[in-house]
């Protein structure tokens, strides 16, 4: 992407983010906000707050005048505009739904963008094709962005991962659901653990050097990490699955992957050894 294209897409991300945040703030007056309205296109329950967020995002995209392919967890894959799509947008309009419902200050939006050469190009798109990434933590107003092969920022300032190279010194974040015995050796061999419940935002904490490791051994949706994985890479981080394969998953609503995101390859080896 050239500089004008980068500026356009990042400004569009800001517009989407602002509209979603406003919609969520307004929606808090709805007494049924916590209700489950349907099963989303990704197969998980959709809360009413998720619908408010997604509808607010889609309205900005529809007004943009661009022809796009949108992949979002509630509505699925849709075409916006009449011409051949010039870009794909992979979006989680509300990362950390439970946190948002409980007013825990770690939730936001995740947007990843890649260029397309027409609608038929969609089937060839992978994580490697993401060129622009945007994540915002709504309660803190912190905005993380990245452009492939260029930069990774927090609030327009360059960020960099930590220099921690040993698990015993690492602060590790993970996503857990019920018992995860495969993580027992991690718990007992790292310096400290954190579990916040907002994957995209937490991965950005790794990118800025607050965390040293982010793990999901149970398989995370590619949709959820499409933006934050680029932010980590451009901040100097290292990302693989639990088998040390570099992530290159195809972009698909239902695609999943395990993830070991670390500040460097040496720390990754230490963490994977503990997992094994």
Dihedrals phi, psi of 263, to nearest 5 degrees:
-75, -15
The answer to whether residues 157 and 31 touch, using CB atoms and an 8 Å cutoff, is no
pLDDT digits (tens, 9 = 90+) for 94-132: 999 999 999 999 999 999 999 987 665 677 889 999 999
Tell whether 84 and 176 lie within a shared domain. Answer: no
Provide the pLDDT for residue 20.
Answer: 98
Pairing mode, strands 213-221 and 171-174: parallel
Other CB atoms within 10 Å distance of the CB of residue 14: 16
Tell whether 218 and 249 lie within a shared domain. Answer: yes
With a CB cutoff of 8 Å and minimum separation 6, the contacts of 125 are: 88, 114, 116, 250, 251
Which tokens go with 22? 């406003």
Strand order of the sheet with strand 157-158? 76-80, 68-72, 87-95, 108-115, 132-137, 142-147, 151-154, 157-158
Mean pLDDT estimate for the chain: 91
Tell whether 89 and 203 lie within a shared domain. Answer: no
User: Helix H segments across 191-261?
Assistant: 199-207, 222-234
Provide the pLDDT for residue 146.
Answer: 99
Tell whether 189 and 64 lie within a shared domain. Answer: no
Tell whether 177 and 137 lie within a shared domain. Answer: no
Provide the pLDDT for residue 88.
Answer: 96
DSSP for 28-46, written as a single string: TT-TTTT-EEEE-TTSSEE
**Residue 78 structural domain:** 3-158
- What number is the average pLDDT over the span 192-198? 77
180 pLDDT more than 60: no
Q: How many domains does the structure of the chain reveal? A: 2
CA angle 6, 12, 17 (to 5 degrees): 125
Domain boundary (158, 190, 215) is at: 158
Domain boundary (136, 158, 180) is at: 158
Which tokens go with 27? 């929606």
CATH of the domain at 11: 3.30.540.10
The answer to whether residues 62 and 79 touch, using CB atoms and an 8 Å cutoff, is no
pTM above 0.95, yes or no: no
Nearest to 73 by CA among 173, 260, 200, 179: 200
- Who wins on pLDDT, 133 or 74? 133
Domain boundary (158, 184, 199) is at: 158
């Amino acid at each position: 992407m050239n500089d004008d294209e980068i500026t356009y897409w990042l400004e569009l991300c800001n517009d989407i983010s602002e509209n979603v945040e406003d919609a969520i703030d307004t929606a808090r007056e709805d007494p049924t906000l916590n209700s489950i309205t349907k099963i989303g296109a990704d197969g998980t329950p959709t809360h009413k707050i998720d619908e408010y967020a997604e509808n607010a995002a889609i309205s900005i995209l529809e007004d943009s005048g661009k022809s796009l392919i949108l992949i979002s967890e509630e509505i699925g894959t849709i075409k916006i505009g009449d011409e051949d799509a010039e870009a794909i947008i992979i979006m989680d309009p509300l990362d950390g739904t439970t946190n948002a419902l409980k007013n825990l200050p770690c939730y936001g939006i995740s947007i990843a963008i890649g260029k397309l050469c027409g609608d038929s190009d969609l089937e060839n798109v992978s994580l490697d094709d993401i060129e622009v990434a945007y994540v915002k933590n709504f309660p803190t107003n912190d905005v993380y962005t990245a452009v492939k092969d260029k930069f990774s920022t927090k609030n327009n300032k360059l960020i960099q991962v930590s220099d921690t190279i040993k698990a015993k010194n690492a602060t590790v974040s993970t996503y857990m659901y019920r018992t995860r015995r495969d993580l027992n050796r991690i718990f007992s061999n790292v310096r400290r653990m954190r579990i916040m419940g907002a994957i995209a935002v937490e991965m950005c904490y790794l990118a800025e050097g607050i965390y040293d490791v982010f793990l999901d051994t149970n398989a995370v949706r590619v949709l959820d990490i499409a933006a934050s994985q680029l932010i980590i890479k451009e901040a100097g981080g290292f990302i693989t699955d639990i088998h040390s394969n570099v992530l290159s998953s195809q972009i698909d609503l239902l695609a999943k992957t395990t993830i070991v995101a670390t500040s460097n390859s040496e720390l990754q080896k230490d963490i994977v050894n503990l997992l094994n």
